[in-house]
Amino acid sequence: MGVTVVKCGGAVPAEAVCADLADHVGEVVLVHGGAPEIARLSGELGVASRTLVSPSGVTSRHTDPAMLDVVTLALTGRAKPRLLRSLAGHGIPAVGLTGLDDGLLQARRKAAQRAVRDGRTVVVRDDHSGRVTEVRPRVLRVLLDAGFVPVVSPPATGEDGAPVNVDADRAAAAIAAALGAERLVLLTSAPGVLRDASDAGSLLGRCALPHEGPVPHAASGGMHRKLIAAREALLAGVPRVSVSDGRIPHPVTAALGGAGTTLEIS
Ligand SMILES: Nc1ncnc2c1ncn2[C@@H]1O[C@H](COP(=O)(O)OP(=O)(O)OP(=O)(O)O)[C@@H](O)[C@H]1O
Ligand SMILES: [Mg+2]
């Protein structure tokens, strides 16, 4: 049986996703983000949440050292335990991991990056985010073979061994590629890719992504990264990639049955 990688957005209710994985134990890897938990915890701890805007206009989280701690705590201390508890409640054997476990996700930190601030381009050097450069899937294979659902989130392992925040969608894409997965399902808090992000009725059944260059339809940084991740997975040989609604009953079964948006390379 082929592997399916399911990425669950932070705003997706965990319960229905977890219940829906019972039929896929040993063939599914669950990857998660946690934007709402990160926002909440940064507020509780009084760590300012700041955004970087690239010269091309793409926004991302400014992960300074304090925010890296918040991200790690929110993902490993809140988002992941919630998923593990829910999986356990459905009798599903699951193990939580980050990209630091056995070097699962290797990443290169952006030591210096250009950003636009107050209309001027500045160089930001204290950002601890980066890109996945390699996946070492051994620990995932061991767990899958033993009948566990691995539950994976950032951070990844930097070149110096220190944690590096990475985008969870792109991490899921890299994991799917490394495992030779048959499916990548990106569950989010939208019906799929919408032609018009403000019109829930404008769902695209299919969405063609160009080989390179700008991706269409993304009205936010979050959806932009999701489509980039989908393209990376497709180009790396993952045959079926979809963005689907995580807020409906049986969201994984629905996505595997064709609900949401199927991505393809144009
Ligand atoms: N064309 C579009 N179609 C659908 N949603 C869109 C579109 N453009 C922007 N969006 C927004 O993108 C959001 C999904 O990305 P977002 O990064 O916020 O969530 P996520 O990736 O599911 O969760 P997390 O980042 O916590 O892992 C949707 O909730 C929607 O508001
Ligand atoms: Mg996101």
CA dist 200 and 195 (Å) reads 9
Name the average pLDDT for the chain: 96
Helix axes 168-179, 221-235, angle to 10 degrees: 10
Tokens of 123: 């160089």
CA dist 143 and 211 (Å) reads 34
Q: Would you say residue 227 lies in a domain?
A: yes
Phi then psi for 262, rounded to 5 degrees? -90, 125
Quick: pLDDT tens for 194-228: 999 999 999 999 999 999 999 999 788 789 999 99
Residue nearest to atom 6 of ligand 1 (CA): 197
Whether 222 is in the pocket of ligand 1, judged by its Cβ within 6 Å, is yes
Tokens of 260: 């949401």
Write the DSSP symbol of residue 101.
G
Q: Would you say residue 41 lies in a domain?
A: no
Q: Would you say residue 10 lies in a domain?
A: yes
Q: pLDDT tens per residue, the chain (266 residues)?
A: 699 999 999 899 999 999 999 999 999 999 999 999 999 999 999 999 999 999 988 888 899 999 999 999 999 999 999 999 999 999 999 999 999 999 999 999 999 999 999 999 999 999 999 999 999 999 999 999 999 999 999 999 999 999 999 999 999 999 999 999 999 999 999 999 999 999 999 999 999 999 999 999 978 878 999 999 999 999 999 999 999 999 999 999 999 999 999 999 99
Residue 112: count of CB within 10 angstroms of its CB? 10
Residue nearest to atom 10 of ligand 1 (CA): 223
Q: Would you say residue 127 lies in a domain?
A: no
Whether 246 is in the pocket of ligand 1, judged by its Cβ within 6 Å, is no
Mutate to test the pocket of ligand 1, among 189, 226, 263 (most ligand atoms within 8 A of CB): 189
Q: What is the CA radius of gyration of the chain?
A: 17
Q: Would you say residue 120 lies in a domain?
A: no
What is the tally of structural domains in the chain? 1
Q: pTM for this structure?
A: 0.96
Which residues 6+ apart lie within 8 Å of 43 measured at CB? 49
CATH number for 98? 3.40.1160.10
Residue-number span of the structural domain to which 213 is assigned: 4-34+81-104+132-265
